[in-house]
Amino acid sequence: MYCSKCGKEVDESGEFCKHCGARLAGDTPEAAPKLTVEHAEAVPTYETPNMIPLDMIERNERMVFETHPSKMEAFFKYIAGGILLIAGGITLMVVLGWVIFGGVLIGAGVIIGLIGFIKWRSVVYALTTHRIIVLSGILSKHLYENRLDRVQDIRMDISVRQRIFKYGDISVTTAGTGGIEHVWQNIPEPRKRQKQLRTLVAG
């Protein structure tokens, strides 16, 4: 059963919505929202998630996509610096014979590169037929989710560098909030992802 005011799933035996406080009396149980045939054809889906834990997926919910942020952003922020430090360390060791100092630079470069890789792998963006999902964290996990029926506006921002390497930022405004929420930062193929999201929200 879903609350007629906020759209979130609620207990059928309850009198008030635990999310927004609206009275549930008189509401009739609803099935989870489904795509129409037209939208199902426009937005391909699949059943079993590859990156999102299976126990996080609701009944009748299907995946549209799962992806990590763009590798290029991690490269510019971390990996490129790590490569430069490693190259500098090797140069110092080979050319000048500064083994200790060169080794320190190489070690620092490896650590910085690993940090960038782990940060990139620890963030998953997903879209389902019900929700926008962002799952992040290495040891502890942080979950952001937003139901599609609460999305009011969709915004896409692509900088010059993002345009060159084909990634960008997608933001939304939702019912009950006054500001813009940055949902998918540095997501690959932003135009395709924005179109998929817009199609599902319109459906």
pLDDT in tens, 34-48: 554 445 457 899 999
What are the tokens at 128? 């389902």
- Note down the domain range covering 2: 1-30
User: Is 112 a member of any domain?
Assistant: no
Whether 139 and 193 map to the same domain: the answer is yes
- Give Cα 120 to chain centroid, integer Å: 11
Whether 18 and 50 map to the same domain: the answer is no
Whether 190 and 164 map to the same domain: the answer is yes
Whether 178 and 125 map to the same domain: the answer is yes
Structural domains of the chain, count: 2
Q: Phi first, then psi: give them for residue 75, nearest 5 degrees.
A: -65, -50
Whether 128 and 185 map to the same domain: the answer is yes
User: Is 18 a member of any domain?
Assistant: yes
Whether 145 and 125 map to the same domain: the answer is yes
Confidence class of residue 10 from pLDDT cuts 50, 70 and 90? low
User: Is 136 a member of any domain?
Assistant: yes
Whether 155 and 175 map to the same domain: the answer is yes
Confidence class of residue 21 from pLDDT cuts 50, 70 and 90? low
User: Is 156 a member of any domain?
Assistant: yes
Q: Phi first, then psi: give them for residue 171, nearest 5 degrees.
A: -125, 160
What gap in Å lies between CA 122 and CA 44, rounded to an integer?
25
Whether 170 and 131 map to the same domain: the answer is yes
User: Mean pLDDT across the stretch 60-87?
Assistant: 90
| Residues 139-190: tens digit of each pLDDT | 888 999 999 988 888 999 999 999 999 999 999 988 776 677 778 999 999 9
User: Is 106 a member of any domain?
Assistant: no
Q: With 60 as the cut, is the pLDDT of residue 136 above it?
A: yes
User: Mean pLDDT across the stretch 115-120?
Assistant: 90
Alpha helices in 22-158 (DSSP H): 37-42, 71-74, 80-91, 99-121
User: Is 60 a member of any domain?
Assistant: yes
Q: What is the DSSP letter of 128?
A: E
User: Is 11 a member of any domain?
Assistant: yes
Q: Which residues of 64-103 are buried (b: 16+ CB within 10 A; e: fewer)?
A: bbbbbbbbbbbbeebbebbeebbebbeebbeeeeeeeebe
Look up the CATH number of the domain holding residue 126. Answer: 2.30.29.30
Helix/strand number for the chain, H first, E second: 6, 7
Mean of per-residue pLDDT scores for the chain: 83
User: Is 114 a member of any domain?
Assistant: no
Confidence class of residue 18 from pLDDT cuts 50, 70 and 90? low
What gap in Å lies between CA 17 and CA 12, rounded to an integer?
10
Whether 51 and 26 map to the same domain: the answer is no
Whether 149 and 195 map to the same domain: the answer is yes
Are 32 and 6 in contact by the 8 Å Cβ rule? The answer is no
